[in-house]
């Protein structure tokens, strides 16, 4: 990669360079190539201005809306499945068939459809999905309910859901649920989330579960859920309710002013309301894998009043150092040392 042509790269040269374009649009998977481009301004200072100019303009353009149209994803697939099932079974010259044959053809259409569905959906297996540090993922469950997993979290569920059994999922870490209400009686209507000693029973609703360090926090946004704990105890939650479960007891119960705020992390990566430094540190350790040393334990109690909404850790650290009287040192990439005073 070390090449004299880069010494005097013009703006046009950058825009023409396939390798540069691939990197700047985040498509470069080769770490060596990616490193070359990130070190470019240092390696070729004479062309650094053009480089940064190209990066700035392309980045501005790339911040456009991405229309994923997720809501229709399952519906369009169902249509595709149906069309294919009918096409695969369509007899070539229907009008020559007598009535009896017609009935047979119809049966064929149906069984072909059933075969495909059977082939696709009815292979019982445990599905397990986990996210790493700083990673977030939305998972669609077999009933088309969706779960957004926060960083370092995991979900497992049976790949096959029948209407004879309750819909069940197991959660570690933090997850936001948007559960489909199924209009039928029987156990298949039940939706149960198991997390660290408690079970949450749901009827078509959206809520947030956070289970970290032996503590499980459940916040309800819409609908109604029942929390079962300690085998025989239970509590019905209404929208805005927020409970915390730790050491075999349901410890805190409070009403949230704006319940939808607890799912803000699904949209922005880092979000806090009236957070203490201790809470922020916990998130940095759990979701981003940082090791944080605090010089004086009382610093953890410092609070940043109001809302913080940032997209990355660096911005978060800037917010902390500009609002609190603390200094943050970063001896290595994933290590932070917080001391009081500037």
Partner 1 sequence: MQSESHVLWWNAFKQGDWDAFTALYGEFYELLNNYGRKFTRDEDLIHDVVHDLFVRIWTTRQRLGQPVSVKNYLYKAFRSTLFRKIQSLSRFVELDGEGGGFTVNFIPDASFRQEEQELRKQVIEMVNTLPARQQEIIFLRFYEGMSYEEISVIMDINMSSTYKLLYKALDNLQKASNKQTWLLIGCLFFLLKNFSKKIPIPEG
- Residues of the shown chain interacting with partner 1 in the complex, contacts defined by CB under 8 A: 12, 15, 18, 21-27, 29, 38, 41, 49, 52-53, 55-70, 72-73, 75-77, 79-80, 83-84, 87-88, 116, 119-120, 268, 309-312, 314-315
Cβ 292 to partner 1 shortest distance, Å: 20
Please provide the DSSP assignment of 177-199 as one string. Answer: EEPPP----SGGG-EEEEETTEE
From the CB of 55, what's the least distance to partner 1, in Å?
7
Four-residue CA torsion sign, 82, 83, 88, 91: positive
Q: Which two tokens stand for residue 138?
A: 């939305």
Closest approach of partner 1 to the CB of residue 59, in Å: 5
Question: Which residue, 30 or 274, is less far from partner 1 as judged by CB?
Answer: 30
Q: How far is the CB of 54 from partner 1 (least distance, A)?
A: 10
Q: In what helix (H) or strand (E) does residue 340 lie, and over which residues does it extend?
A: strand 335-340
Q: Considering the complex, what minimum distance in angstroms separates the CB of residue 108 from partner 1?
A: 17
In whole angstroms, how close is the CB of 85 to partner 1 at the nearest point? 11
Q: Residue 169: CA atoms inside 13 Å, Cβ hemisphere, count? A: 29
Q: What is the rounded distance in angstroms from the CA atom of residue 44 to the CA atom of residue 7?
A: 6
Which residue number, 26 or 341, has a Cβ lying nearer to partner 1?
A: 26
Q: What angle do CA 32, 34, 38 make, to 5 degrees?
A: 115
DSSP, residue by residue, 241-280: EEEEEETTEEEEEEE-SSGGGGGGGGTSSEEEEEEEHHHH
- C-beta of 117 vs 294, nearer to partner 1: 117
Closest to partner 1 by CB, 311 vs 325, is 311
Shortest reach from residue 128's CB to partner 1, in Å = 17
Cα–Cα distances (Å) from 22 to 65, 169, 208, 331, in that order, read 20, 39, 37, 32
Is 83 or 248 the residue whose CB approaches partner 1 more closely?
83
Whichever of 66 and 100 has its CB closer to partner 1, that residue is 66
What pairs with residue 149 in β-bridges? 137, 175
Closest to partner 1 by CB, 24 or 326: 24
């Amino acid at each position: 990669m070390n090449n004299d042509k880069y010494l005097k790269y013009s703006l046009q040269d950058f825009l023409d360079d396939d390798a540069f374009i691939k990197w700047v649009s985040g498509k470069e998977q080769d770490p060596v190539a990616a490193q070359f481009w990130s070190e470019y301004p240092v390696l070729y200072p004479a062309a650094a201005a053009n480089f940064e100019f190209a990066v700035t303009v392309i980045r501005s353009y790339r911040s456009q809306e991405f229309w994923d149209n997720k809501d229709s994803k399952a519906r369009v697939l169902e249509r595709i499945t149906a069309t294919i099932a009918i096409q695969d079974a369509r007899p070539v010259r229907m009008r020559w068939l007598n009535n009896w044959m017609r009935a047979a053809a119809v049966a064929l259409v149906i069984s072909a459809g059933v075969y495909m569905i059977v082939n696709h959906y009815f292979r019982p297996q445990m599905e397990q999905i986990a996210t790493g540090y700083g990673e977030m993922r939305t998972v669609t469950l077999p009933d088309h309910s969706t779960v957004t997993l926060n960083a370092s979290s995991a979900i497992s569920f049976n790949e096959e859901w029948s209407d004879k059994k309750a819909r069940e999922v197991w959660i570690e870490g933090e997850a936001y649920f948007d559960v489909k209400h199924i209009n039928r009686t029987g156990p298949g209507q039940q939706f149960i989330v198991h997390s660290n000693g408690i079970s949450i029973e749901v009827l078509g609703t959206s809520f947030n579960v956070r289970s970290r360090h032996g503590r499980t926090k459940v916040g309800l946004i819409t609908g109604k859920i029942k929390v079962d704990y300690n085998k025989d105890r239970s509590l019905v939650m209404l929208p805005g309710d927020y409970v915390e479960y730790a050491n075999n007891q349901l410890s805190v119960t409070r009403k949230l002013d704006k319940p939808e705020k607890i799912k803000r992390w699904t949209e922005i990566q880092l979000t806090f309301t009236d957070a203490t430094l201790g809470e922020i540190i916990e998130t940095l350790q759990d979701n981003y894998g940082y090791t944080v040393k605090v010089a004086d334990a009382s610093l953890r109690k410092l609070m940043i009043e109001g809302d913080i909404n940032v997209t990355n850790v660096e911005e978060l650290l800037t917010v902390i150092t500009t609002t609190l009287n603390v200094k943050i040192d970063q001896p290595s990439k994933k290590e932070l040392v917080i001391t009081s005073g500037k």
